[in-house]
Structure formats: structure tokens, C-alpha cells
Amino acid sequence: MDLQLGGARLDFVPGIRKRLVDEEGDNRQHRRLQQSNEPATSVGMRHALGQVIRALASGNASNLRGFDAARAIVDAGLSRYTRKVYASPASQASATAFVSFGKCPAMTTVAIIGATGYSALEVMKILLRHPHADITTVTSRQEGNPHIAAIHPSLAGRLDLTCDNPAAEAIAARAEFAFCCLPHAVSASFVPRLLDAGCKVVDLSADYRLDDAAEYEQWYGAKHPDAARLPETVYGLPELFREEIRGAQLVANPGCYPTSAILALAPLLRNKVINAETIIIDSKSGVSGAGRQPKLTTHFPECNESVSAYNVGRHRHTPEIELILSKAAGEKTRVIFTPHLIPMDRGILSTTYSDPAEGTSPPSEDALLASLREFYHEHPFVRVVDHLPATKDTVGTNFCDVTIRVVRGKILTISCLDNLIKGASGAAVQNFNLMTGIAEMTGL
């Protein structure tokens, strides 16, 4: 099927007309546009124009006139996953005028570095419905340049890319932004080259979460490859560091366990409600938290119908939790952190136990809940709830649900989140949004 728009040719893959976008409600919105004279600046129209705007801004399309072009694009059922624009060069002035007319930010080209794991898969699934992200590169060290759908079958028909293993400079030529999903210690050897080549980076490994190279070596058993950058790297928890994230070139994405504990405890420590040195954190995680690489402990017959603690007193998330809570408290914080493996796919439930601050009695539960709501009232992904939250409440979402109880003079928090979304990939996209200057909730 060919469509001419003022000299620009648009090609559509057969069969795609039925699928306009992969977001609930947008199909209805596009059908309404086809049957009415709804203005071209509507939300649905801007969504459909996302890819075209990037082509215009780069000077690869010509004579696309605002309303007529937009109506034709939507009426043709143009899918943001497959559309291609071939045209003679357009002037920058025309592109600027069209972007202004549509009121839609240009697309950001994105690379997924280390695309084979669960976190990488979830990043890609989110970005495929993101109106301002265009995945242009997926990398893997696997031989044979496999198609991404061969690694993640759920992406079949949704992302037509093959995995390769290019140098950082080649990645930067294809993408403005990189989600680095490489293993610990490997990531910090690659990230500096991406930054030097001009990419912004969210690193999903633990390599940039700690401030001190000696502490990193103590917990991760390796010298840090980029130690000088540690003190200046922004920790990617928007609920505590939103403004720092906005201006960052590199953001260290938080760990899953730390996110669940920090979001529950930070308000209490900042407001001097609890003792900073006697905190106990009991966390339970689904098996996906252990990663995609097969291990004996996550083998189905080993972990099914069984609950087990692991890495008691030596889990690598301990120093991360203590570091960020110390920043929130303004004083040294010490925790006892015990993680458990639960026979479910995904989700984390964390319960913390704290003493009241020295010389004080615990406030009432109502007062504590009100304090948490006030702390997070400008942060859309933390839901302070009255009931006891469950992991199913947050599966597949970027929310963290938190509540609080007072029991025999102790202050308890209960929090839950999806370890692969708010605990990893959703938080990474939240950081991407802030770093690229778009609304924090976009795509989430």
C-alpha cells in the first residue's frame, strides 16, 4: 500500500492497518478521528505522529502539511512499529513548524545493551508502547546475530531487530540513549565509552550504585573499572533524587530489594521518626529476581513449593540500602537485611522493623500514614495504602505500595512492588523520561 503526502511516500507492511498502537484505548481514539473533524493536536494524533516528527526534524521528509498530513496518516492506520518515511530533504524550518503544530516531542533513539535478560525484555516491552522512544539497536554477545524474537519470543512481530555486538562508538551512531543491562563489573567497562561517544545512559547493573570503590570491591569481589566516576553518578530513585536525575548523563538504576525498602523507610528517617541504627529488613522475592541464567537454586524442582533465606548478612544490596538511607537520614544508617526466595515468578514484599527515635514514643498509625502521604504526594508511583498490600497489587506496574503499622512500640512498614518493573525496568524508563525532559509517567 502506497500513500503520497505532498511528495512524501509512506509504505505500510501488509496487515498492520488493524493494529494502530499497542495501548489500551488508542484504537477507539483513532476510529473517532477517522469519523470526525477532531483537531490534529489531540493526544491520539500526537501519538500516531511520533515517528514522522523525528523524520521531519532530521530533514528526511518534505511538504508534510500539518492537518492534511496528520489526518491521512491516521486514516491509513499507520503503525508506529512499522512505518517508514522516504522523501526528499525537508527544510529545518518546515520540520520545526510541523513539530510545533503537533506539539509532540521528537523521538529519542535507544539502544538496549545486553538484550537477553529479563530486565532488558521488560525495558523493550515498555518502550514499544512509549510515544517518544525508538529502539534502534539491541546487543548481545551471542554468536550468529540472532533475531531479538528468537531470544524473546514475546517480541515476535513487535520488534524487527537482530542482535549484534558493536563497539560503543557504533552504538552511539545509532542511538542517543542507552539502557545498559550488562552484568556487574562488565557494565562499568563499557559505560565510559558510551558516555564518551555522547550517549546518555541508565545502567541497570550495580556498578554505579555505591559511592566508594573500596566498598564495591569488598561486596562484589572485583576492582571497579571506572572508580573515579562513582562519587558523581546520580542514584536513579526519582522519589529522592528527581532533580539530579533530570540533568544527568549517567544514572545508576536502583536494585529491586533496595527500592522496596528505601521507599518505605526514607520518609521515617528524614523526619527523625525511627532509630537509624536498629533497622531490620525482611524481604521476599519471586524467582525472576535471580536472573535468567539457570542455577540450581532456581531450578523448578528445587524452588517450587519451598521458601528459603539466602545470603543472610552478606547480600550485596545491603551497602546500597545503607548508603541511600544514610543520605535520606543525614546520618549513618545500619540495617540487618535478610532476603528470601519465594516460589512465584515476580514480585517483592518487604517488611521492616524499627525502633522509635531515641527518647520518643511512636506516633499513631494515622499520623504515620499521613506523613508518608505528604512525603510522596508529588510522586505518582508510590501509593500509600491503608490495607496490607500484596504482590499481586503491583505486578506488571511501576507502582510501589506502602503501608505502616505500630506493634508493641515498634514501627513496621510493609511495601511491595514488581521486581522487574518498579524494581528494575520501569524505574529505568522513569529515569529515561526525566533525563530526556518528558513527563515522568510517559509509557508507564
pLDDT digits (tens, 9 = 90+) for 350-391: 999 999 999 899 999 999 999 999 999 999 999 999 999 999
Which of residues 289 and 39 earns the better pLDDT score?
289
325 and 403 inside one domain: yes
Q: What is the pLDDT of residue 147?
A: 96
> Is position 434 within any domain?
no
Rounded distance between C-alpha atoms, residue 90 and residue 419, angstroms:
45
Q: Which tens digits make up the pLDDT trace of 120-171?
A: 999 999 999 999 999 999 999 887 889 999 999 999 999 999 999 999 999 9
373 and 293 inside one domain: yes
The dihedral sign for the CA sequence 268, 273, 278, 284: negative
Q: Quickly tell me which residue has 511501576 as its cell.
A: 398
Q: Which tens digits make up the pLDDT trace of 220-239?
A: 988 999 999 999 999 999 99
192 and 289 inside one domain: no
> Is position 438 within any domain?
no
Q: Is the pLDDT of residue 65 over 80?
A: no
> Is position 72 within any domain?
yes
256 is annotated as an active-site residue: yes
410 and 262 inside one domain: yes
Question: What cell was used for 133?
Answer: 522512544
Compute the half-sphere exposure of residue 170: CA atoms within 13 Å on the CB side of its CA: 8
> Is position 270 within any domain?
yes
93 and 148 inside one domain: no
What is the residue range of 152's domain?
Answer: 108-232
Q: What is the pLDDT of residue 304?
A: 78
Q: What is the Cα 168 distance to its own chain's centre?
A: 21
pTM above 0.75, yes or no: yes
293 and 207 inside one domain: no
Q: Is the pLDDT of residue 301 over 80?
A: no
User: Which one from 181, 256, 303, 400 is the annotated catalytic residue?
Assistant: 256
220 and 265 inside one domain: no
Number of domains in the chain: 3
* CATH code for position 409: 3.30.360.10
54 and 175 inside one domain: no
- Mean pLDDT, the chain, integer: 81
Q: What is the pLDDT of residue 286?
A: 86
Q: What is the pLDDT of residue 102?
A: 42
Strand ranges, E, within 298-425: 308-309, 335-341, 348-354, 382-384, 400-407, 410-417
By C-alpha distance, which of 17, 32, 36, 8 is closest to 76? 17
> Is position 239 within any domain?
no
Strand order in the sheet with 2-5: 2-5, 8-11, 84-86
